[in-house]
Structure 1
């Protein structure tokens, strides 16, 4: 039975399953659950059943994706702080770049945790990781003072590799989801 609408929203929901307790709902979940209660897709499933299914898909993806693919999805889309930070650390150790390790770490972290407009570290109550604005200043990423063009090339190469890895992970996750026939229009 198809209960999900599309790949990306399913990925976000499934990767959030490890950070959801059943006593409070995140705002996006309330919207999905309201649609389901009003007779929308999957309305025959209880909230607990949907959560259990999310957890099963989480475990399935973790098992079926290559470790680098899993880590790039967790780094980019998970809401679980510790899992996100752990995935970023594992990706840093896998990243091949002529840039120094500090640069690779900061470039990868800035990619996984983009700067949010209107949100400042420590200024707003949020359950998300919010980095200080200066973290995104590429001048702080290289203590050797390499030329700006070199730093831009390093950052571009790192981000390009991450985007390729993310694309491959989403393609593989889509294949897994399709085999499970989880989408509404799956027949």
Structure 2
């Protein structure tokens, strides 16, 4: 199996760990059952590759790169929250601590389309997305917007660096479709 791009590979790999037995993550029995009838193919093979990519990325990426990808793309709630907490502790900004934390959380868990974000379990209450609630001290709106913009820009830059490193790893494993242009 090969992936079209590095983002799809990262998203699939991070989603592989959240598939439960109701949905089909009973990894060992599926793979063993598929082997009994011959070669591992289809969904089982794709799932196996996703799990392998998860392992390779987790092992080979720098901890900061792994953390930023988990915060941005993971659907595993506990791991996502842990990654957000680590990023919040290590990220330096001129913004107050609470503002910085809220900006990072809302970057990692953006407000989604739909009524009150009911399309996803990883959405926050509406008040989280209002910058006025991010600090108790009065700061001009332009200052708050600059803080948020700078934090998000820096986080997206980190994501870009992490994806570049992930791409190198995946290319080394021949898991990306070569560009045909």
What range is the shorter-chain TM-score in?
0.7 to 0.9
Find the counterpart in structure 2 of residue 10 from structure 1: 9
Q: What does 1:11-160 align with in structure 2 at a 5 Å threshold?
A: 11-24=10-23, 45-120=41-116, 124=118, 128-160=121-153
Q: CA RMSD in A?
A: 2.2
Cα deviation, residue 70, structure 1: 0.8
Listed one character per residue, the Cα deviations across residues 113-170 of structure 1 (whole Å, up to 9, x for unaligned) are 110111416xx4x662111111100011011121212111111111111011000001
TM-score (norm 2): 0.83
The answer for unaligned runs of 5 or more in structure 1 is 26-43
Find the counterpart in structure 1 of residue 31 from structure 2: none
Find the counterpart in structure 2 of residue 40 from structure 1: none
Find the counterpart in structure 1 of residue 36 from structure 2: none
SS in 2 for 1:130: coil
8 Å CA contact 2:2, 2:174 repeated in 1: no
8 Å CA contact 2:109, 2:123 repeated in 1: yes
Between the two proteins, the alignment pairs up a number of residues equal to 166
SS in 2 for 1:19: coil
8 Å CA contact 1:79, 1:128 repeated in 2: no
SS in 1 for 2:105: helix
Find the counterpart in structure 1 of residue 33 from structure 2: none
Moved over 3 A (4+): none
Cα deviation, residue 52, structure 1: 2.0
Alpha carbons of structure 1 residues 172 and 119: separation in structure 2 relative to 1, 3 Å = farther
Q: What does 1:156-175 align with in structure 2 at a 5 Å threshold?
A: 156-175=149-168
Alpha carbons of structure 1 residues 185 and 160: separation in structure 2 relative to 1, 3 Å = closer
